[in-house]
Structure 1
Amino acid sequence: MSNVIRIGIVGAGIMGRGNALSLSGLAEVEITAVTSHSADSAARLADEIQGRGAPRPTIHPDLDAVLKDGSVDAVVLTTPDHLHGEMMVRAAEAGKHILVEKPLTTSVAEADAAVKAIRAHGVVAMCLFNHRWVPAYAQAHELLADLGEAAVAYARKDDTIFVPTEMLSWSDRTTCAWFLSSHDIDLVSWLLRDQVHRVYATARWGKLRSLGIETPDAIQIHAEYSRGAVATFESAWIYPNTFPTTVDSYVSVVTDNGVVQLDRQKESVVLATVDRYAYPRNMLQRVLHGIPAGAYADAIAHWISCCRTGEQPLITIESSRNVTAVLEAAHTSIETRQAVDVSMLADPGNG
């Protein structure tokens, strides 16, 4: 492999464009291929990449064509949640490095198949849980190392109703927990340096079902960690669109010797115009003096570095598999109204 990592983007929607924007700021990267279920979206993304001064990537009809392209070293999978697993297996078998949007998969069986293929073929793979690169969260990870055992954690990630009704065309194929709490389960497990042992979860249906979208409005997951800490993971996506941010995000961790609180509702900027009042987001994605920046870009740069060196990413593929196990257990709990033991699904040694 040359010093330049050649990338195929799979999925040309919001996240595909976001990944491409972040990748375009890296000198050691060239986006050589794009595919999407929408040929028009793929063409628009290819045009935008070319417009940023890079060669126009080849537009392929499907993933198979991308994987057969000799000018592709790695793929970035930004497809809907339920499509990730099988695509990762095929990419690994083709010898391509993999960056996949969260969640890793929406079933443990698919996650296990992906991990097996990735390890068997020696490719570098990472799930894009970019919150670990938010400066405040990374600082909290260091601070918590000196505050004793964790006692209780709370993580809220709630979206406006724009997300399931307008942004996503496939919200009935996922849930707010898969889409939102996957981030928080990875983050809190990393902050606590522990893995979830048992969960009990509940869900509420109503608003979205009345709009013809068969998915819960909100889910709460009560989680017990292996060393005794307890945590609540809240997700909802029916906030009114008048809310000043698309997502409302908050995390707190109480330990034997302190407490850390992380509130991302305001990210340093407040905007008021004649039409709206808003808190513009800048921690995850921003363009700083023409260069893509933020946690998203930093996470992707880390993955590119690992592709070049062969080192394992900060986020192991096994730890992302464990997030899937927690969420599968939570959805089983919703259906059975019983607590579900995760220990047989998730390996506490992976992190």
Structure 2
Amino acid sequence: MSRLRMGIVGTGIMGRGHAEVFAAHPAVELTAVSRKPLGDATVYAGYRDLLASGTVDAISITTPDHLHADVMVAAAEAGVHILVEKPFTTTVADADRAVAAIRQAGVTAMCLFNHRWVPAYAQAKEKMPLIGEPVVGYARKDDTIHVPTEMIGWADRTTCGWFLSSHDIDLLAWLYDDHVVDVFATARYGKLRGMGVDTPDAMQIQARFSRGAVATFESAWIYPNTFPTMVDSYVTVVGEDGVIQLDRQKENIQLATTQGYAYPRNMLQRVVHGVPAGAYRDAIHHFVDCVLTGAEPLISVESSRHVTAVLAAAHESARTGAPVRL
């Protein structure tokens, strides 16, 4: 295959982001979208009509978190390659049927955990042998309240854990080269419920990995909108022989205007001289390259299924107040 015909299911913020990256890729043609116009692509009423059209070789799934699984299964059954936004799914049952359909069909599939392409995180992976066996880690990813109250209209059908900690669980499991076996989690409700959005304000997940290392995953999305970045992201990993710290709050630029003070973000998404760049673009291009060459993606659907299992167990723990073994 020398050229990839791409479709997008879900044409919100992330769908538009995918479309911009595909439009700048010389080997990709955006041919179909569902359900709102994007560029010159043909618009279909739903994903089943899009898949039945025969106009796509692969699709990006950028729907709300809880709607990924059905689209993945249908795409796999149609022999269409799959790029899906994180989290992979929001139930283990959905993850299992998606993985089964993908492996049975033999299509290329990848969940877009784009943090693996952030240069500092990729460098941390290379440097992990220098700090020895992992001992303890901490990953914080907190959003301003703009995100659950204005940016997305389906915050009541997900949580900050699914929306934010999914990235960090994938990242630390990759850095540790290990998998989680036990979790204990707590969730706090209050502010957002008071605003009519039935979702936790914050979650904290304690995880134990199979070789004995532990990690804490913090997520919240009630920071005031005056915070200088929409996302506050920080990771530390302590090993037996050293420590790695990754602070992404400031990304080498500061901006002060009469409206406020900000640290504009640029590691994930940026445009350089009119061309999309950054970890988000690099991750999507990696998927395209894998489809065109037949290579295996850096992120397997099985590892993405594991992230779903960790978060499902964490939400069960938060509900019951008891630890949960995976």
Shorter-chain TM range is: over 0.9
Q: Which amino acid aligns with 1:341?
A: R
1:59 aligns with 2:59: no
Q: Which amino acid aligns with 1:57?
A: A
Partners of 1:231 and 1:142 lie apart in 2 by 20
Q: CA deviation at 1:146?
A: 2.5
Partners of 2:102 and 2:130 lie apart in 1 by 35
Q: For the Cα contact (< 8 Å) 2:131–2:238, is it kept in 1?
A: no
CA RMSD of aligned residues (A): 0.7
Pick from 72, 83, 88 the counterpart of residue 99 of structure 1: 83
Pick from 80, 88, 109 the counterpart of residue 93 of structure 2: 109
1:266 aligns with 2:265: no
Partners of 2:140 and 2:285 lie apart in 1 by 27
- Give the match for residue 19 of structure 1: 18
Q: Which amino acid aligns with 1:191?
A: L
- Give the match for residue 286 of structure 1: 270
> Across the two proteins, how many residue pairs are aligned to each other?
326
- Give the match for residue 188 of structure 1: 172
Which stretches in structure 1 are left out of the alignment for 5+ residues? 37-41, 47-55, 343-351
Q: Which amino acid aligns with 1:5?
A: L
Partners of 1:238 and 1:31 lie apart in 2 by 36
Q: Residues 311-350 of structure 1 correspond to what in structure 2 (within 5 A)?
A: 311-342=295-326
Q: Which amino acid aligns with 1:7?
A: M
Partners of 1:147 and 1:237 lie apart in 2 by 32
Instruction: Kindly report structure 1 stretches of 4+ aligned residues shifted beyond 2 Å.
Output: none
Which stretches in structure 2 are left out of the alignment for 5+ residues? none
Q: Residues 166-245 of structure 1 correspond to what in structure 2 (within 5 A)?
A: 166-245=150-229
| Larger displacement relative to structure 2 (298-307 or 140-149) | 140-149
Q: Which amino acid aligns with 1:185?
A: I
- Give the match for residue 236 of structure 2: 252
Q: Deviation string for 1:242-296 (max 9, x for gaps)? A: 0011000000000000000000000000000011100001000011111111000
1:86 aligns with 2:70: yes
Q: CA deviation at 1:81?
A: 0.3
Partners of 1:194 and 1:120 lie apart in 2 by 26
1:71 aligns with 2:55: yes
Partners of 2:318 and 2:233 lie apart in 1 by 23
SS of 2:131's equivalent in the other structure is coil
Partners of 1:200 and 1:289 lie apart in 2 by 46
Partners of 1:202 and 1:74 lie apart in 2 by 38
Q: Which amino acid aligns with 2:129?
A: A
Q: CA deviation at 1:217?
A: 0.2
Q: For the Cα contact (< 8 Å) 2:130–2:242, is it kept in 1?
A: no
Partners of 1:302 and 1:213 lie apart in 2 by 36
Q: For the Cα contact (< 8 Å) 2:7–2:59, is it kept in 1?
A: yes
- Give the match for residue 298 of structure 1: 282
1:32 aligns with 2:62: no
Partners of 1:88 and 1:230 lie apart in 2 by 32
Partners of 1:314 and 1:194 lie apart in 2 by 15
- Give the match for residue 145 of structure 2: 161
SS of 1:214's equivalent in the other structure is coil
Q: CA deviation at 1:171?
A: 0.3
Partners of 2:186 and 2:41 lie apart in 1 by 45
- Give the match for residue 345 of structure 1: none
Partners of 2:43 and 2:7 lie apart in 1 by 10
Q: Deviation string for 1:90-148 (max 9, x for gaps)? A: 01001100000000000000000000000000100000000000000000001112321
